[in-house]
Every structure is written in C-alpha cells, then in structure tokens.
Structure 1
Amino acid sequence: MELPRARLATAAGFFSQGLILLSLTTRLPEFQDRWHLSDVQLSLILLMMILLAGAGSVAAETLAKRRDSALLLRLGLLVVAAGVPVLCTAPSTGVFVAGIATYGFGLGVVDASTNMQAVALEHRYERPILPSLHGAWTLGGVVGAAVTLATSHLPLEANAAVGVIPLLIAFAPFLPRDHGPTDLATEVAVPWRPILLVGVAMVLFYMVDTAVQTWGPLFLDHTFPTPERYVALAALTYLLASGAVRLAGDGLVRRFGVVPVLRAGALLGAAALATVVFSPDWQVAVLGFALLGAGVAVVAPLSFSAAAKIAGGPDGGAAFDPAVRQARVDAVIARFNQFNYVGALLGSVLTGLVGADSLRIGFAVPMVLVLGIVPLAPAFAPRVATLVSARRPSAPGSA
C-alpha cells in the first residue's frame, strides 16, 4: 500500500501547488488596487517572487544530497502555508511583499520536491506516471481559478483560507528515501550535456505556458471586442485541455513512445498558436488556446522523467546504491527545475516586449520557437551509450 498512498500524496502536493498559484494570480488586479501598485511595481514584485522561487529550488538541490525529498516537500508546503495568509491579510505594502517573498521561496522548494517525489515513484512503478501527476497540478489550477470566480464578492482576506490546504497536505504519507550513504551522491559525475538538451525543451514549454497564462486574456481583450466575462477563457480552456491530455498522458506514452508524442504535440502546438495569431475573432482564438494546451501538455512531465533517467545512470540506476541513486536524482531534479523559471521569465517578458504594439506578433514568437521541441525530442529517450561515462561498479546488494 506504500506506493499508492505515496502517489496520492504526491498528486495532492501538485494539486495544492496549482490551486494556490492560480487562486493568487487570478486576484492580482485586486492586490494591485489595494496597494496602489503600478504595472512596473507589480512586475518587479512578481520578478522577485520568481527569483526567490529559483532560490528555493537551489536550496532544495543543496539539501537533497543529504535529506530526503519527503522532508523537503513537507518543509516547502509549510512555508507556503505561512506565506499565503500573510500576503492575503497584510496590513501594509511591506508586509504584503514579505508574504509574497515567503510564498515564492516555498513555491520553489515545493516545485523541486514534488518532482523529486514524482520521479522516485515513477522509478518504483517502472512505467510512466509523471504526466498524470502533473495533471493534478493543472486540475488544481482549474479549481483555483474557479474558487476565485466563486468568491470574487468576498474580501481578499478570505483568500487566506487556501493556506490551510498545503498545511494539511504537509502531513501526507510521502515516499521516504532508501537509507544509505547519501553523501556519496556528491562523488558521482552527472552527464549534464544530455540533460541540458531536455532542459532547453522545457524552457520552450514554460515560455509558451507562461505566455498563455499571462498574456492570453489580454490578447482576447486587446485584439477583439471580447465580452469581459469571457477573456479568462484563454487560460481556462488551455488549462482544461492540458489537464485532460496530462491525465491520459501515461497511456499515450506507453502506447506510442516518448519521441512521437512530443513531436506530434510540438507540431499541434505550433498549429494552435498559428490559429491564435491569425484568428478572425475571439472564439477562434479560444479554440487555438485549447488546442495549444492539448499539444504541449506532456512536455514538462516528460522533461523531468527524462532528466531523472539520465541522472540515474545506465540500467535504470542498477550501477548505484539505491540511496546514492535517489540522492543523485533528487539533486539533479532540483537544479533541472531552474529551467522552469528561465522559461517563465521568457514567456512573461519576451511575449510582452515583442507584442508591445500587437500581441498577434507577440504570440508569433512562441509559434516558431515551440517547433524546437521536434529536433530535441530524441534527447527524451536517452541511450545507454550516452550515459556510460557516469557508470561505476555495482555496489554489493544494489538493486
């Protein structure tokens, strides 16, 4: 029963992550009005949050060599649970910024450690499960957006209640690490070159993902006479389609393989963005955003899965003591998570800068760049020959 319970706990971690992020970002206009923040000031606060999330991920990488990801995830969830009520009930701008900073750091730790748990579970299951676990994040995001719609008449302080969710999940039965000489992880060289190829694909995904969630509603609002109540459909349909494909992604990868799924998704993503860029009305643009969600949905989970396989070494990690393998993979996943924030910065900044005069032009950039996933797809199916340099003699009794 350990694996199913740990899988459910990890899915809950992903779910809370998406729910809280979307429940906060969908109320950013209200936070901006309350604290009289200009667009530049708000952008700088969000930049601070992303940078601190990166710092949280770096801290998780450092600690992962000697502490298991279950403990790191619990700590990250507790930090998030502390930051959310502070930023929602802040009596002053300074306290609000401090709450955002706390939340951002916790977000980075949770980002890294949920994926550490996910790749450890996938290794134990010996089949793809990361797409459906990331689907739990998307489902949480949809619920978070729905919570905002349902509680929009309530004061901002009421949003502090969502901080209870990570607090409760922090005590869930996450997967513990095998006991062993985890300090040996620092002695094992990691083949970063093939991991970097996968990382570039993840940057491209998060560039597209962030562009849609940041600029998609504004695209509908600025490009067409879209009714105000419908502008959120850009992000909502993207999330719904992405969630559906992620939940089905485990089976798709088992049936067709990683490389064909990624290539087909990248082509669909480029076609979807072309639909958005050349859309004659907002309804067609919404369809384009939905198709885009379906096309690129599995890039992120398959990126983490591929990075874990490369980091684990040949033969699925049989060359290493189990504890060494897990410590090594955890540290790599935490560092690999930095590609997430690089893509987020590019998606939020590049699309806006290029599309300053017209967001059609802004979305033309990811329309072209997402095709870069096509030649990068083979890196997601590493061969033993690629990893041979990381191999070392098997430890007695290793599995």
Structure 2
Amino acid sequence: MPVHETTALPPRRAPMVTPARVAVSLLFLANGFLVGSWAPKIPEFAARLELSKSALGMMIFCFGIGSLVAMPLVGAAIARRGSRSVLKLLALMSGASMLMVTFAPGILTAAAGLFAFGALIGGMDVAMNANAVEVERRQGRAIMSSCHGFWSLGGVLGSGLGGLVIAGAGVAVHALAALAAVLVMVAIAWPRVMADPPAPHVPVDGSAAPSMVRAIFGSGATVWLIGLMCLLSMLPEGAVLDWGALYLRQELGASAALSGFGFGAFSATMALVRFVGDIVRDRFGAVATMRGSVLLAMAGMAISGMAGSAEMVIAGYGIAGLGLANMVPIAFSAAGNLPGLPPGVGISLVTFMGYSGILFFPSIIGFIAEHTGFAAIFTAIPVLLLLVLALSGLVSHADSNRPDGEA
C-alpha cells in the first residue's frame, strides 16, 4: 500500500458519478467476480485432485501465501509509481490466473497456480483500494463502502452464475467465460483509471518498503488494534468463501448449484448494505454502526453453524453478510484518519492484517474441520467477533472524514 501524504477532503465536492469512480468500481467488481468464481470450483477442484480436507487446506494456504507475499511488494511499487499503472497491469493479468487453476494437471502445478492466483488477486486488491482512496480524496466524498459493494456484487455474480455454468457446461467453459467477463470489465475501466502521483517523500531507489515499516512501528498501538479488528472481521468472509460450498455439499447434502448460492447469498446482502453504508455511517456514526454490524454478523454465523438444512445455512450467511458489510470499510476509514499517521501507512498495515483473515486463516479451518466438521467452526466464529465488539470504540476516527467535518 502506498504512503500518501494527503490533505483533508476539500469542501467542494465532485459529482457523485465520475469516470474515475466508474473505473475503480468496475475493477472492484472484476476482482470480486474472480473471487466469487473460485468458490463453486472448490468441490470439483478437491475431487479432481483427490484432496482431503487438510490437503485442500494446504492448497488454500498457497492462495493465501501468494496474496500476503504480493501485498507489501505491490504497496511499495505503488508508493514509487502511483496506483494507476500497477492496478491496470494486475487487473489485466488476474483473469488469466483462473485458467492456471482450472487446467492444472497435478497437485504441484495446482499449488503453483493457486499461489499465482492469490498473488494477483491480493495485489490487485491493494492497488484498487489505494486508487479508491485517491478518488475519494479528489472527489471530496466517501466512496469506499460503495466500492466494496461492487466487490460484493462481483462475488454474487461470480459464485451464483459460476455454480450454474459449472453444473451445466463444466469447469473449462466456466473458466473461459470468467476470463472473458473480466477482460470486458478491464477494457471499459482501462482509459478511465485515475492517475495519481507517487507518494511524496518516498525514495525511488527501492527503499520505500523500509520507510513504510519505520512509520508503522512508530505509530503506537491503535493502528495495530484496528488491524486486528479488520483481521477478525474478514475471517468469517474467508470461511464462507473457501469452505461454505463444501459445508453445504458434504455435511448438508446440497446440490452443486445450491452450494454455489451460499457465498452468493452472503455477497448479495453485503453488496446491498455496502451501497448504503456511507449514508448509514453518516447518520449513526462509525462506532454505533460498527457495534450494530458486529451483532448482526455474530447472529448470522451462529445460525449457519447450528442450522439443520442447507436453506437455513444460506439464510444465516445472508444475515452475516448484512453485519459484515460495513465493518471492513469503517476499519479502513479509521486507519486512514488516525492523527499523526499518514493515511497510506495506516491503510497498508490494516489491509495486510485484514486480508490475512480472508486469505490465510481459512487454511487452518481445513485442519480443524478434519476433526470437528464445519458446523462447529461456523458456530465458534461469533466468539472471535466479541473482540471486535470490545474494540469498536477505536473506529471513532472514521468520523473525522465526514463531509461536514463533524465527529
């Protein structure tokens, strides 16, 4: 993530819809579409390679490691070059990575494909969030929640349509169709992506990353605690993404098409709330919005873990999505508005910690589920969210970014 020395949002606000906002929203949509497209492929992927739950967990671990390796490297590149060129390159390459996973002939090539897929998806995620921060700053209005809404909408389309295409035409056709859809979105966004300068005071000789590390470690505990909140807020999303379809199929007997709608329901409710998330936060404040969101997320995950039918599990995913929708955007906004800390530094740490929840921890779930089953996992997740509830007062910093300047 880049180290941006930004100023306060200007009092004059740009129109709600601009070419730059359309472009970054489309790229969030494309990234979410690819992630959603992976979800219904997992049962076939595991069956084709004859993977046990723990072995599949190791494969998902490769995806997570690829993402976490790429994130700081992409952040340093953005700090030196700005987000536009980095984002466009990663967006162009990300669609093709789905083919590597689909057509991998063996376990080693599949692991390498998942590592590359995770690196491109994770790197693109950092770049598009950095570009969204710049668009938000230039336009003088909050857009982060709606950008994440487009990501969730992409997840709905990717998982819902993916399950149907795989059931009707197979995984090869699905992979090619997903690639074509992403290329169309990237082509539309390509000339409209906002150009942003490299971060000021960041060296161009390759030492950007050490400068960012020094700033982070000198920032105090608040940014680390917000990062922890973001990690725990993303962990349920990773659990539903990587294990939700398998839970529905193996433990509740759902069909391939129905299991694909599990993550779809989760992403649909997330998208719905995220498109109005900025309005909700302006009305009730960041802290109250966070607390209400955590309680909804806890209820939804508990329902999904204790449900006795696939339909009830999907309903629980939907309720959890309502709660989880605004938690991560609020955490990002709070990190970007911490006093005395450049916004890019705070966002880089919170993003890295947060995405480890969605990319790294699901691999551990595979090992635990081998002994407990998935129902126990989903039932236990609300306990972890209690810590987010306890730390929710820290996100009051997000309110300092309101257009009217009110806390």
The 3-state SS of whatever aligns with 1:381 is: helix
Change (3 A) 1:92 1:292: closer
Report the RMSD for the aligned CA atoms in angstroms: 3.1
User: Would the aligned equivalents of 1:258 and 1:380 in 2 still touch at CA under 8 Å?
Assistant: yes
Give the aligned partner of residue 160 of structure 1: 176
Letter in 2 for 1:171: W
Shift of 1:74: 1.4
Give the aligned partner of residue 276 of structure 1: 304
Q: How does 1:82-93 map to 2 (within 5 A)?
A: 82-90=96-104
Give the aligned partner of residue 250 of structure 1: 278
Give the aligned partner of residue 173 of structure 1: 192
The 2-side partners of 1:383 and 1:298 are apart by 12
Q: Greater shift after overlay, 363-372 or 77-86?
A: 77-86
Which of 20, 39, 61 pairs up with 1:47?
61
Shift of 1:227: 5.9
The 1-side partners of 2:112 and 2:329 are apart by 31
Q: How does 1:184-263 map to 2 (within 5 A)?
A: 186=211, 189-190=215-216, 191-221=219-249, 224=252, 229-263=257-291
Give the aligned partner of residue 375 of structure 1: 390
Note the residue ranges of structure 1 that are not aligned, 5 or more in a row. Answer: 318-327, 386-399
Change (3 A) 1:126 1:39: same
The 2-side partners of 1:280 and 1:48 are apart by 32
Give the aligned partner of residue 6 of structure 2: none
TM-score by length of 1: 0.81
Shift of 1:54: 0.7
Change (3 A) 1:274 1:168: same
Which of 298, 303, 327 pairs up with 2:326?
298
Percent same amino acid among aligned pairs? 24
Determine which structure has more spread, i.e. the larger CA radius of gyration.
1
User: In the alignment, is residue 64 of structure 1 matched against residue 64 of structure 2?
Assistant: no
The 3-state SS of whatever aligns with 1:151 is: helix
Give the aligned partner of residue 9 of structure 2: none
Which of 96, 100, 118 pairs up with 1:104?
118
Shift of 1:252: 0.7
User: Would the aligned equivalents of 2:232 and 2:385 in 1 still touch at CA under 8 Å?
Assistant: yes
Change (3 A) 1:268 1:101: closer
The 1-side partners of 2:197 and 2:53 are apart by 48
User: Would the aligned equivalents of 2:159 and 2:263 in 1 still touch at CA under 8 Å?
Assistant: no
Note the residue ranges of structure 2 that are not aligned, 5 or more in a row. Answer: 1-13, 401-407
Q: Greater shift after overlay, 223-232 or 121-130?
A: 223-232
After superposition, the C-alpha distances for 1:9-48 in whole angstroms (9 at most, x for unaligned) are 1111111111112213311333344445554443323211
TM-score by length of 2: 0.80
Give the aligned partner of residue 357 of structure 1: 372
Change (3 A) 1:197 1:99: same
Change (3 A) 1:259 1:142: same
Change (3 A) 1:297 1:329: same
Change (3 A) 1:172 1:31: farther
The 2-side partners of 1:302 and 1:200 are apart by 13
The 3-state SS of whatever aligns with 2:18 is: helix
Shift of 1:133: 0.5
Give the aligned partner of residue 138 of structure 1: 152
